[in-house]
């Protein structure tokens, strides 16, 4: 009864399994259940030695040796067959035993209710003296970390993909839009003041269905342009700047640090499909969409922006991969199955600069979380290109300088 999984028991009860609801009712009154079982158990363990002693006295007389042997044999049999063996079997197969046993225990509890009440009267008095509140123990709730541990230990009982989605769902509690947004440098935007031929060419060749439109300065956002609707208008009439301005949707701004769960709710309520992330000074920091948040749960599935040919396949045969320094760490971890820290800088460039505490001037290698990174190209502002070595045996690449922290 005590070893049975309460969640599985609830599932069996909803399925109408024999004895499941009866078992639930018994476990809801743990004090009465324990009293009934222990009273019966102790009466049995007391009556058997008394009967054995009476039989031994009647058969062999008051022979102390015989009485001692008989008592020892009965104690051994009770320990093995009435205590250890049934309890091991019950703990190993709780459902197979608890469910049918509940059909017998329930009427016994009703029959012995006066005796149970009398015994519990003294037990509850002792608990009150010791200031032990048994009702508060039933109100315990599992924390997120405890639920995470349960999912991690599910093993073969849960498909790997399902377990991964649940773990990612727990991680969403601790991340903000800064962790999932497309950084400012990677946003595909359209300059409203650019030559009109250039605007038309960008509309026809862009990878996204929505473009951020700005005027002169990237921080002067005019709105968001729906590319398909614009191209449709282009076929029906001659597109002009004022017509283009009329097609712009109002920009939707969110502050940095907004929790991802809260932002997902904002998307549902406002019906927006893109949000511009701005800092406390109103400067544009990035772009976040519902797809970016969903990818945190189920992995990458959008194909709007193709990766470079060198990185499209991930690791090459030598266990190496070349990526841009502006790549977000969470996306990089998810893509290459790495464990680079994400509690600080959000991009690979920021992580390398934090470790080196300077912008590297040449080929530099740094090892972070058992991942070896080689800076291939950098300028006065940031690290532009990085070669990543698959964690494990060295890939054999020549490195001019090694920096560790």
> Which ranges of 250-384 does DSSP label H, i.e. alpha helix?
260-270, 290-298, 329-336, 348-356
Question: Does the pLDDT of residue 179 top 90, yes or no?
Answer: no
Sorted by where each begins, the domain ranges of the chain are 6-139, 144-173, 175-298, 320-404
Answer CATH for 320-404 from 3.30.465.10, 3.30.2310.20, 3.40.630.10, 2.60.120.920? 3.30.465.10
What is the percent of the chain with per-residue pLDDT over 70, rounded to a whole number? 89
When pLDDT is cut at 50, 70 and 90, the band that residue 278 belongs to is very high
Tens digits of per-residue pLDDT, 355-388? 888 888 778 888 888 889 998 888 878 888 999 9
How far is residue 5's CA from residue 7's CA, in Å, rounded to a whole number? 6
User: DSSP states of 152-183 as a string?
Assistant: HTTGGGS-HHHHHHHHHHHHGGG-BHHHHSEE
Please tell me the predicted confidence (pLDDT) of residue 30: 85
Please tell me the predicted confidence (pLDDT) of residue 309: 37
What is the value of pTM for the model shown? Answer: 0.60
Which of 27-41, 154-168, 319-333, 385-399 is predicted least confidently? 385-399
Please tell me whether residue 374 adopts helix, strand or coil conformation.
Answer: strand
When pLDDT is cut at 50, 70 and 90, the band that residue 404 belongs to is very low
Question: Does the pLDDT of residue 350 top 80, yes or no?
Answer: yes
Mean pLDDT, to the nearest integer, of 4-30?
86
Please tell me the predicted confidence (pLDDT) of residue 377: 87
CB 327 within 8 A of CB 403: no
Which of 19-33, 95-109, 164-178, 307-321 is predicted least confidently? 307-321
Q: Are strands 217-226 and 248-249 parallel, antiparallel or unpaired?
A: antiparallel
Mean per-residue pLDDT over the chain, rounded: 82
Mean pLDDT, to the nearest integer, of 146-162?
77
Q: Are strands 364-368 and 371-378 parallel, antiparallel or unpaired?
A: antiparallel
Which CATH code for domain 175-298?
A: 3.10.580.10
Please tell me the predicted confidence (pLDDT) of residue 7: 79
When pLDDT is cut at 50, 70 and 90, the band that residue 148 belongs to is confident
When pLDDT is cut at 50, 70 and 90, the band that residue 254 belongs to is very high
Please tell me the predicted confidence (pLDDT) of residue 18: 84
């Amino acid at each position: 009864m005590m070893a049975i999984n309460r969640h599985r028991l609830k599932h069996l009860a909803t399925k109408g399994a024999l004895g499941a609801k009866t078992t639930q009712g018994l476990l809801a009154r743990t004090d009465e259940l324990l009293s009934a079982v222990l009273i019966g158990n102790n009466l049995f363990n007391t009556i058997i030695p008394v009967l054995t002693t009476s039989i031994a006295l009647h058969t062999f007389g008051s022979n102390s040796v015989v009485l001692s042997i008989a008592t020892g044999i009965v104690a051994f049999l009770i320990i093995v067959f009435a205590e250890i063996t049934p309890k091991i079997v019950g703990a190993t197969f709780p459902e197979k035993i608890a469910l049918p046993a509940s059909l017998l225990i329930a009427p016994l509890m009703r029959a012995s209710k006066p005796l149970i009440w009398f015994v519990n009267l003294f037990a509850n008095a002792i608990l009150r003296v010791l200031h032990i509140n048994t009702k508060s123990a039933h109100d315990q709730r599992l924390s997120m970390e405890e639920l995470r541990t349960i999912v991690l230990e599910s093993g073969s009982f849960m498909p790997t993909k399902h377990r991964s989605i649940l773990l990612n769902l727990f991680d969403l509690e601790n991340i903000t839009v800064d962790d999932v947004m497309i950084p400012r440098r990677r946003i595909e935007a359209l300059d409203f003041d650019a030559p009109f031929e250039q605007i038309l060419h960008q509309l026809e060749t862009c990878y996204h269905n929505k473009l951020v439109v700005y005027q002169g300065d990237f921080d002067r956002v005019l709105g968001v342009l729906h590319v398909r609707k614009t191209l449709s208008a282009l076929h029906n009439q001659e597109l002009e700047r004022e017509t283009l301005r009329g097609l712009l949707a109002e920009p939707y701004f969110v502050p940095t640090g907004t929790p991802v769960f809260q932002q997902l709710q904002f998307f549902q309520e406002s019906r927006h499909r893109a949000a511009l992330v701005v800092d406390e000074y109103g400067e544009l920091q990035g772009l976040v969409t519902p797809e970016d948040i969903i990818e945190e749960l189920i992995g990458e599935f959008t194909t709007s922006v193709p990766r470079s040919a060198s990185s499209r396949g991930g690791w090459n045969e030598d266990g190496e991969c070349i990526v841009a320094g502006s790549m977000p760490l969470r996306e990089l971890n998810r893509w290459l199955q790495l464990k680079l820290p994400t509690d600080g800088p959000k991009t690979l460039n920021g992580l390398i600069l934090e470790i080196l505490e300077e912008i590297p001037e040449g080929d530099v290698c740094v090892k972070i979380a058992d991942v070896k990174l080689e800076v291939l190209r950098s300028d006065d502002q940031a690290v532009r290109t990085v070669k990543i070595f698959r964690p494990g045996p060295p890939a054999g690449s020549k490195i001019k300088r090694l920096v560790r922290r």
